[in-house]
Structure 1
């Protein structure tokens, strides 16, 4: 038989027999909301770069994001509040995008192509780890929870320590370790969302927040890494 005569069964490829149909529909809602969040966040960053209406966004956007997240958490999930919660989710994504604005502005001054490269890289990483979580045995990555939280604690300690010593080596270690930890969170959060959905928790809006934060953090880390590499290349050329 000619190998080129074989056809790929995409239905079988996309079939997750270990996940119930209701949970699969729930995941579709989660990822659809995630796509909208990324578009809104991109709009927020673009508005910052174009208008410069928010010269000091750091604390303001962080407070705005935290306020929206708190409001979303306090608003119960129900058909009656669905549109309201989607609006809050969009506002949260917008503030997050504004918060990325200063970093995007800086990266444009270094090399604008870094933004597209980082986004494509983040998309590939996110897709690969998501598929790994979906196709893996259920609950097989939930054991990572404790390790990942310990990793976040280490990152926090390194960050505080480096505030006093300003070590470039520690900064790079923090960025690369943070990237690895966030990749682990994609695995963990995806399987945790599946288990919550299987147990009846169909709050796709809140579940979207978890994955959105994972995506944004990975994107931020990749942007920083690519910017550092670009600056080092420029120094070598000089």
Structure 2
């Protein structure tokens, strides 16, 4: 189907043409995004448990559990016999990460619950657009970002630790916006890296989905805080 955008005709068939990818790679990506969907559903369940209240609450403990589960998943060999086990670990990891979002979700609800929906929709649009761009682009064209992104994360970590002492709100805001930009770039990088790893014989689609899930969660968390701070600021002005 073709549609008009201004004076230019856009072919929808061209936008979904990934003929540069082999059938094997397409099947691998299908498995990756299936696992990603499972992890997202598990994270939603974990977040729901936190919001529902009770003895299951998110926070530092759930974050530590998530890290432990991720290490366990990485240490469990990618074999056919371990596939069901690893999927279960992945689902548990997603649930723990969802619980870990609890304090951020509480912050948003106190200001305006609609912030969570807005942030999720915005994150989904960003994620889809950058993922499609990475798949549509020439092979390896974004892999050069790896070194820059690694350095950027290191700088962010160091300045974040320093800000624990300086307590600069301006630096905190910079971290939020810069973090969104960095993890958007990570979506490009990780998507192409997954394709490249598969082309080189790495078929661990369960672990590959973890990279994309972490990109999504990091963008989502920062957008919630940004939207919450902005709305809170507007409320104080009014």
Place the TM-score, normalised by the shorter chain, in its bin: over 0.9
> Which residue of 2 is the match for residue 73 of structure 1?
74
Residues 186-234 of structure 1, C-alpha deviation per residue, up to 9 Å, x if partnerless? 0000000000011111110000000000000000010010001011000
> Which residue of 1 is the match for residue 33 of structure 2?
31
TM-fit CA distance, 1:158: 1.5
Determine helix, strand or coil for the equivalent of 1:109.
Answer: helix
Q: CA–CA distance in 1 between the matches of 2:82 and 2:56?
A: 31
Deviation larger for 202-211 or 60-69:
60-69
Out of 12, 22, 32, the position equivalent to 1:20 is: 22
Q: Which runs of 5+ in 1 are unaligned?
A: none
- TM-score, with length taken from structure 1: 0.93
CA distance 1:173–1:9, shift in 2 (3 Å): closer
> Which residue of 2 is the match for residue 40 of structure 1?
42
- TM-score, with length taken from structure 2: 0.93
Contact persistence 2:59–2:102 (CA under 8 A): no
1:202 aligns with 2:197: no
Residues 165-188 of structure 1, C-alpha deviation per residue, up to 9 Å, x if partnerless? 111100000111111100010000
> Which residue of 1 is the match for residue 134 of structure 2?
133
TM-fit CA distance, 1:101: 1.1
RMSD: 1.6
Q: CA–CA distance in 2 between the matches of 1:213 and 1:181?
A: 12
Residues 8-36 of structure 1, C-alpha deviation per residue, up to 9 Å, x if partnerless? 87555423122111011100111111111
Structure 1 outlier segments of 4+, above 6 Å:
none
Q: CA–CA distance in 2 between the matches of 1:94 and 1:49?
A: 13
